[in-house]
Amino acid sequence: MIREFSAGGLVVRRMRGRDHLAVVLVKNGTVMALPKGHIDPGETAAEAAEREVREEAGLQGRMVEKLGDVKYWYVRGGDRVFKIVRFFLFQYVSGSVRDYQREEVDGAEWIPLEDAPRLLAYRGEKDMARAALSATAGAR
C-alpha cells in the first residue's frame, strides 16, 4: 500500500454582499475542484496549501484555520494508494483567478460559496465547502 499526503485551500472572498469561493477547472474544464497538490520536502501542509492556491488559482490568501482532512483510496499503476488531503480555509488577500497556472489546471473562477457543495465534483471537497460555509457563517 502506498500513502500520499497533499494539501489544499479554500479561498473565500466577500463580493457583492456574498461569500465566494475560488475553484479550479480540471479534466479539460469539465470538473470543478479545489486547488490542491503535493506537499514539498520541508513544507508544512499549511504552506503547501498556500502555495497551491497561489499556483493553481493565482491568489494570495491569509490562513484562517484548518478545515479538515479528506481521505480516499485510488489505484495507480496497479497499486492501491491511500491519500489524505488536508484542507485549510483562507481569507482572500490579493491576486486574480485570471492568473491561474495553465500547466496545472484548465481555469480558475469564483463561485458563490453557498453553491459550492452542489457544484464541486468530489464528495470530500463538497464536505470541505460545507465546513467553510459553517466557519464563515460563524465569523459574521
What's the pLDDT tens digit per position in 109-139?
999 999 999 999 999 999 999 999 999 986 6
* Percent over 90 (pLDDT), the chain: 93
Domains and CATH numbers, the chain: 2-138 (3.90.79.10)
What would the 3-class secondary structure string for the chain be?
CEEEEEEEEEEEEEECCEEEEEEEEECCCCEEECCEEECCCCCCHHHHHHHHHHHHHCEEEEEEEEEEEEEEEEEECCEEEEEEEEEEEEEEEEECHHHCCCCCCCEEEEEEHHHHHHHCCCHHHHHHHHHHHHHHHHCC
Each residue's pLDDT tens digit, 33-60: 999 999 999 999 999 999 999 999 999 9
Confidence category of residue 29, pLDDT binned at 50, 70, 90: very high
